[in-house]
Structure 1
């Protein structure tokens, strides 16, 4: 069921994946960018999990909006607004 708990778990799983793959993402980014994509996403998704632990969004949309806002405000470069807007 696509309820609030599902989206909270989804964001937590995404954060764990980013944490696990941060070094590889940064290495891939170094070939064409400034080698900060993994660390930026890691910072952003850490902020997402922290705010979801602190706040209790009441709806699936509220979970996604809150996550999107965190990504926009904490992930540097173009990817923060890109991923954040996708969720909002």
Structure 2
């Protein structure tokens, strides 16, 4: 039973990492991309995209510059 849970947790972490990387990649290509567009391109729900973005912001990997409507996203390089 513990082995099944461990495997499931690893798969969830791997899936989250892929979502994070995909969203960062899309934002680097288009800093003005919308939540809706990210949702369409990642096959995540809009609330799922918002959750990933919140995690990325909390981990200082993503910042929002400007206003909600007229602003843009900026991926923070880890160099």
Task: Output the TM-score relative to the length of structure 1.
Answer: 0.30
Which of the pair is proportionally richer in strand?
2
Larger Rg: 2
Higher helix share: 1
